[in-house]
């Protein structure tokens, strides 16, 4: 076939498909060609520039930024959320709504969902969630101790129980504080049958939803009492800590900061988190920027849901 004839046929096939909304099978039948030939002509039409496909992102959608984040930090996925202001409370609300939609859209049968306690962002997630279609065998397990100051403890219980109800799952609570007073106390708690029942599910978690914290605790975490003292926080900073997940601290490169404080934490371990099929970090804001970057560099999460202000800072050349 002469080149001009092939170009003419490519153009005609493209016109029938894109302008006249005909199916490939209809085009093949009308022109007396095989569907394989039609498919080849489509590919050649794109190569020749006859067909140019472009995606116009609506305002508030950051597809390119999401791809930059995923490529820069070897993530399975990144979700970048539009936020009207670089303000922590506004960002928490916006991230909660986006994370709720993510869970509603991706939950699978027999999912074991690990849920962190004492995260204001995850609390916003639950507040924004709608009831999901019923999926069989869904379990929800608390992966950070939820016992603390009685005035604040209702948040941890509400987080887990309401989430489980929304996904039609069974809830398993971790009946222990996030931080205990001594290693000896930790050993006593680890012998408790109900604590063991929750921790036995940690290696089975397929979807983990966690916040990412700075060394200085959030207001909700501070109110819960599950925090280290100011002197202990200084110790962590002195060892290079920039943030934590599940009260396990890491430095700016994501390396775990090993101190005796680890022996007082009741939660899922970072290596267990890394093994989850989807380890989702939901965090944003300037205060947590170094912590989020450290978590990404360490590979502790493979999906990040964050705001566009934080995402832009994370992919900036200075972020390394």
CATH number of the structural domain spanning residue 15: 1.10.10.60
Alpha helices (H) in the chain, listed in sequence order: 3-18, 24-31, 35-47, 63-73, 88-106, 120-128, 150-166, 183-190, 193-199, 219-224, 230-238, 270-275, 289-298, 308-315
Give the domain extent around 20: 3-47
Does 126 reside within a domain? yes
Does 32 reside within a domain? yes
pLDDT digits (tens, 9 = 90+) for 155-184: 667 789 999 999 999 999 999 988 888 999
- Name the residue among 113, 126, 122, 98 with its Cα closest to residue 305: 98
Q: Are residues 176 and 299 in the same domain?
A: yes
Does 54 reside within a domain? no
Stretch 252-274: mean pLDDT: 95
The string of DSSP letters for 78-131 reads: EEEE--SSS-HHHHHHHHHHHHHHHHHHH--TT-EEEE-SS-HHHHHHHHH--P
pTM of the model: 0.84
Q: Are residues 37 and 118 in the same domain?
A: no
259, two tokens: 């101190």
Q: Quote the CA–CA distance of 95 and 101 in Å, as a whole number.
A: 10
Does 194 reside within a domain? yes
pLDDT value for 155? 67
Please state, rounded to an integer, the average pLDDT across all residues of the chain.
Answer: 90
CATH number of the structural domain spanning residue 181: 3.40.50.1360
Q: Are residues 291 and 168 in the same domain?
A: yes
Q: Quote the CA–CA distance of 267 and 236 in Å, as a whole number.
A: 18
Q: Does pLDDT of 318 surpass 60?
A: no
Total count of domains within the chain: 2
76 secondary structure, DSSP code: S
Phi-psi region of 201 (alpha: psi -120 to 50; beta: other; left: phi over 0): alpha
pLDDT digits (tens, 9 = 90+) for 193-218: 999 999 999 999 999 999 999 998 77
Does 239 reside within a domain? yes
128, two tokens: 């924004």
Burial class (CB in 10 A: 0-12, 13-18, 19+), 291: buried
């Amino acid at each position: 076939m002469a080149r001009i004839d092939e170009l003419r046929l490519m153009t005609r096939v493209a016109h029938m498909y894109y302008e006249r909304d005909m199916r490939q099978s209809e085009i093949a039948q009308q022109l007396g060609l095989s569907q394989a030939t039609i498919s080849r002509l489509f590919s050649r039409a794109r190569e020749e520039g006859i067909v140019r496909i472009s995606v116009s992102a609506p305002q508030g959608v950051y597809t390119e930024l999401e791809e930059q984040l995923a490529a820069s930090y070897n993530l399975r996925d990144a979700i970048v959320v539009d936020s009207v202001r670089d303000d922590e409370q506004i960002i928490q609300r916006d991230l909660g709504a986006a994370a709720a939609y993510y869970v509603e859209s991706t939950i699978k049968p027999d999912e074991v969902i690990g849920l962190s306690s004492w995260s204001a962002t995850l609390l916003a997630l639950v507040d924004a969630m709608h009831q999901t279609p019923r999926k069989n065998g869904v379990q929800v397990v608390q992966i950070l101790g939820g016992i603390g100051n009685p005035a604040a403890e209702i948040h941890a219980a509400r987080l887990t129980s309401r989430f489980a109800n929304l996904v039609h799952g069974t809830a398993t609570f971790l009946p222990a504080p996030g931080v205990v007073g001594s290693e000896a106390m930790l050993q006593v708690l680890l012998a408790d049958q109900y604590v063991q029942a929750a921790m036995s599910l940690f290696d089975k978690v397929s979807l983990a939803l966690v916040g990412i914290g700075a060394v200085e605790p959030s207001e909700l975490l501070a109110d819960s009492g599950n925090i280290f003292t100011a002197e202990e926080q200084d110790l962590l900073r002195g060892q290079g800590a920039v943030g934590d997940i599940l009260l396990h601290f890491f430095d700016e490169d994501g390396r775990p900061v090993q101190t005796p404080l680890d022996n007082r934490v009741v939660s899922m371990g970072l290596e267990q988190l890394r093994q989850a099929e989807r380890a989702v970090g939901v965090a944003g804001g300037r205060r947590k920027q170094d912590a989020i970057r450290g978590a990404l560099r360490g590979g502790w999460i493979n999906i990040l849901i964050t705001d566009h202000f934080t995402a832009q800072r994370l992919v900036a050349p200075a972020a390394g």
